[in-house]
Amino acid sequence: MKKIKVVIVGGGFGGVSVAKKLTRASHWRKNLSITLISRSRVSLFTPLLHEVATGGLREDGVGQSLASMFSKHDIELHYESITKVDIEKRELRTDMDKRLAYDFLVLATGSKPNFFGTKGAGEYAYTLKTIEDATKMREAICMASQKENPSFVVVGGGPTGVELVAEMRHFLDYLCKNSKVTLIQKGEELIPMFPPKFRILAKKRLEKLGINVVMNTGVTEICKDGVILDDGLQIPSHLTAWTAGVMTDIPEMSGSRIEAQKGRLPVDSKLRLQGEKNVFVIGDIAGFTNAGEDRPVPQLAQVATRQGPIVAKNIIATLEGKELTDYKFVSAGLLLSLGEWMAVAQLKSLFLSGRFAWLLWRAIYLSKIETIPGKLHILYDWIRCLVFSRRK
């Protein structure tokens, strides 16, 4: 029996969700050969990374080994990066000089920090995309807190920046006295992609925590000991975190005339790369727009997680000659943590804020952790953090 080779590139939310659905299908469709390629050996629950960086969680809970996740499934795992995709030859090349052929390809390579050419950012700024990033940031915060009157800066007032700076304030209150925390946002509002209620409450909350919120100001340079604003003012900083944006991480592609548009690959309603029947694109790198709308769907975990099963279903439907399923983005809701005992949430038409929203935020994210040990790790850390102290 000829094997149908399905290769999934990316071990994040999107890639893992496709792999799970296909491995279940392979129990009854024996001719499927599934390969998952990931830079990391761990599938990471990125919405909680900011808590790892600020001593609220250990690394154990937010990352699950891909090997253990798929231990009972027939799947081949490769821990490497893709350097080139040859659409015409249906072949991938890896950074370990391997060549992998495919019949179906799923690209779910996600995004990486975008410094927008800011001088010194790559050298001096801390980012928050991986477990290693979060661990380095936590260690650096602890070291910087030992200095006299330490100062900390977070650049970027999107959801990651807002959640990080709120938790950082609590962490520093535990570590030291007289620290100063500044959040710099280039635009007129924090979290501009969120509804107005979220933006207003977020700004009020951060200011109540004693965080210096600087609006309508860009950063032109990040130095070892501070940041320089576009008006020439320098703000001292013993640690600068960069959450000001991401860029899609698309591998080099040949054999196709399709090019990325505004950093994202155009796809059809079935989530196939435009003009290609056997290449699917999901998550941050997919430039999908709902019919009748003019803005691509947001680069959120909930998007990638929901796109995955659709792609798996469409691969099976293609093999069976059946009609493929259209994808449509419908928001599952919005959640934003604003530090201890404070969050805002919107679930359809229901808007919540305060302690109940904070408990709901935690309950929802806890439910999305795959393993029982992972859930227990996180639950224990949350209780320890509230009752005793954060982890240095």
Residue indicated by tokens 């990651």: 160
Cβ(12)–Cβ(42) below 8 Å: no
Burial of 148 (0-12, 13-18, 19+ CB in 10 A): exposed
The pTM of the full predicted model, rounded to 2 decimals, is 0.94
Q: Is the model's pLDDT at 389 over the cut of 70?
A: no
When pLDDT is cut at 50, 70 and 90, the band that residue 348 belongs to is: confident
Res 235 pLDDT > 80 = yes
Q: Which CATH class is domain 113-246+333-387?
A: alpha beta
The full set of domain ranges for the chain reads 4-39+80-110+249-320, 113-246+333-387
pLDDT at 391 over 70: no
Q: Are 64 and 54 spatial neighbours (Cβ–Cβ below 8 Å)? A: no
Residue linked to tokens 């535990």: 174
**pLDDT, position 255:** 77
Which has the closest alpha carbon to 11: 81, 60, 99?
Answer: 81
pLDDT band at 259 (very low <50, low <70, confident <90, very high): confident
Q: What is the pLDDT of residues 12-70, one digit of tens each?
A: 999 999 999 999 987 788 889 999 999 999 999 999 999 999 999 998 889 999 999 99
Residue 217 CB-density burial (10 A; 0-12 exposed, 13-18 middle, 19+ buried): middle
Q: Could you check whether 4-39+80-110+249-320 and 113-246+333-387 share the same CATH topology?
A: yes
Q: Tell me: the pLDDT tens digits for 62-112?
A: 999 999 999 888 899 999 999 999 999 999 999 999 999 999 999 999 999
The 3-state secondary structure of 168-225 reads: HHHHHHHHCCCCEEEEECCCCCCCCCCCHHHHHHHHHHHHHCCCEEECCCCEEEEECC
Q: Which residues pair with 228 in a beta bridge?
A: 221, 234
How would you write the chain as a 3-class SS string? CCCEEEEEECCCHHHHHHHHHHHHHCCCCCCEEEEEEECCCEEECHHHHHHHHCCCCCHHHHEEEHHHHCCCCCCEEEECCEEEEECCCCEEEECCCCEEECCEEEECCCEEECCCCCECHHHHCECCCCHHHHHHHHHHHHHHCCCCCCEEEEECCCHHHHHHHHHHHHHHHHHCCCCEEEEECCCCCCCCCCCHHHHHHHHHHHHHCCCEEECCCCEEEEECCEEEECCCCEEECCEEEECCCEEECCCEEECCCCCCECCEEEECCCCEECCCCCEEECHHHEECCCCCCCCCCCCCHHHHHHHHHHHHHHHHHHHHCCCCCCCCCCCCCEEEECCCCCEEEEECCEEEEEHHHHHHHHHHHHHHCCCHHHHHHHHHHHHHHHHCCCCC
> Distances in Å between the alpha carbon of 377 and those of 58, 69, 142, 383?
8, 17, 22, 10
Query: Is 343:337 a contact under the CB 8 Å cutoff?
Result: yes
Query: For residue 387, what pLDDT is reported?
Result: 79
Q: How confident is the model at residue 133 (pLDDT cuts 50, 70, 90)?
A: very high
Partners of 254 in the β-ladder: 86
Contact 180, 153 (CB under 8 A): no
The token duo for 103 is: 């019949």
* CATH 3.30.2130.30, applies to 4-39+80-110+249-320: no
Reported as a single tens digit per residue, the pLDDT across 271-321 is: 999 999 999 999 999 999 999 898 899 999 999 999 999 999 999 999 999
Name residue 111's amino acid: S
* Mean pLDDT (whole number) for 132-140: 97
Alpha carbon distance 249, 305 (integer Å): 18
Contact 5, 101 (CB under 8 A): yes
CA distance 336 to 300: 13
Q: How far apart are CA 13 and CA 20, in angstroms?
A: 11
CA distance 64 to 70: 11
Cα 81 from Cα 60, distance rounded (Å) = 24
Rounded mean pLDDT of the chain? 94
CA separation for the pair 22, 34 (Å, rounded): 8
The answer to whether the beta carbons of residues 187 and 215 sit under 8 Å apart is yes
